[in-house]
Amino acid sequence: MEVNGISAEISADGSFIAQILLSKNNAGTIKATATSGDEKDTYSWAYSIDNGGTLNFIPGQHVDDYSRISVDPSIDIKSDETIDINLSLRTGKDIGYIHPVYQLEISRVRSLGDRNELPALPGLEFNISPISFKVYPWINYHPNIQIVTNGDLETGDYYFHFNSYLDNRLWSESWVTVEVK
């Protein structure tokens, strides 16, 4: 395992610890690369550091050297409303010429960063079209994601976990806050 080019030991449970130098009032990426034989798997996190030295990961962003996916991390909607949200998938040379199938899954969770799925929320639904499709290198994709609410839905903040898969392998994840007004 390497983190920003620095070797990191992977423990038996699959976790790792790495120390990297970050500067105040700066932004960038933290890039982790796991290698097994000739195969490499890379994941990067976008971050910013304010003048006070607080590290903030930028939600809704998966950033790596080539492909990236982004979705607005905060969405406002009224009860009895239907809106479209923008998800952008930009593929790069890392997709290669195997043309993997991209698939998006959305689940309700208790808070940002949580991965434990909660039951669907009556009165709020996501419609994704297409739900899966083949991807090719160097193309921008914009699947249609629609949020539909009804009058029975209580106002407040609801949290959702977006999982993106390439050929049934988790590729990226994002969290989105939906505020019902």
pLDDT digits (tens, 9 = 90+) for 65-108: 456 678 888 999 999 999 999 888 877 766 766 678 889 999 99
User: Domain spanning 68-180: which CATH class is it, in words?
Assistant: mainly beta
3-state class (DSSP) for residue 76: strand
Query: What are the residue ranges in the chain where pLDDT is below 50?
Result: 62-65
Residue 181, pLDDT score: 92
What's the pTM? 0.62
Distance set, CA 32 to CA 67, 68, 77 (Å): 15, 15, 36
How many residues are present in the chain? 181
Residue 149, pLDDT score: 95
Task: Provide the residue ranges of all domains of the chain, joining segments of one domain with +.
Answer: 2-58, 68-180
Distance CA 67, CA 43 (A): 10
Distance CA 79, CA 10 (A): 47
The alpha-carbon radius of gyration of the chain (Å, integer) is: 18
Distance CA 76, CA 179 (A): 5
Distance CA 39, CA 60 (A): 27
Which one-letter DSSP state was computed for residue 38?
Answer: T
3-state class (DSSP) for residue 93: helix
Which residues, 6 or more positions from 131, have their beta carbon under 8 angstroms from its beta carbon? 103, 104, 143
Residue 100, pLDDT score: 84
Residue 147, pLDDT score: 95
Number of neighbouring beta carbons within 10 Å of residue 37: 5
